[in-house]
Amino acid sequence: MSLPSCDDIVTSHLTLIAITPEMLKSEQTSDHQRLGEQLQAAVPTNWPPVDWEPHVLVFILNQFQEHPEQIGWHRYVIFRHPDGARSLIGALGAFSKGVPPSECEIGYSILPPFEGRGYATEGTKALIAYLRTDERINSIIAHTFPPLASSIRVMEKCGLTFEGAGEEEGTIRYRLALR
């Protein structure tokens, strides 16, 4: 079985760049200049997103070590301006605790100035299409809190349906069956 390519995923407005350990290390040291060079994009001063807490960087680094088959599942979201300039606007990704990964969980975060423009939906749809190429994955799940209507809309626009209570207290889970 071959793994999906870690090439960039390009949509009509976005480029999803596979996160690498080197990029995460630049991010951990708040070296925005180096991260910008690695991404070939402008990194805004309000990077990272509010919910992109330091433990997320450690989690992704651990995923790379423990589950190398999931490399390419975590992506930076780059917006392509009409003039060709590129800006880092968010991150999205997937992970699976299972081996093999029959079910994976997705998550996404877009910086506030870019929210409400459909970028989370566009990026998530592209990530789901990428994950569909991994024949081991039978379903995709996502969790959110009930008051986060915009997050629920992203899930629903991407084909996920309400399943019930989530794993963490107060959350709800959505699911998309792939096979």
Instruction: Give the residue extent of every domain in the chain.
Output: 9-138
Question: pTM for the whole thing?
Answer: 0.89
CA-CA distance, 27 to 52, in Å (whole number)? 11
pLDDT digits (tens, 9 = 90+) for 71-119: 888 888 988 887 778 899 999 999 887 767 799 999 999 999 999 999 9
Stretch 14-32: mean pLDDT:
88
Q: Which residue has the higher pLDDT, 157 or 85?
A: 157
| Strand 161-165 versus strand 14-18 pairing type | unpaired
CA-CA distance, 163 to 165, in Å (whole number)? 7
CA-CA distance, 155 to 141, in Å (whole number)? 9
CB contact at 8 A, 153 and 36: no
| Residue for token pair 């300039």 | 85
| Strand 139-144 versus strand 103-110 pairing type | parallel
Q: At residue 63, does pLDDT exceed 90?
A: no
Stretch 160-174: mean pLDDT:
95
Q: At residue 123, does pLDDT exceed 90?
A: yes
Could you please state the CATH topology (level 3) that the domain comprising 9-138 is classified under. Aminopeptidase (3.40.630)
Residues sharing a CB contact under 8 Å with residue 2, sequence separation 6 or more, in sequence order: none
* 8-12, 25-29, 43-47, 173-177 — most confident range: 173-177
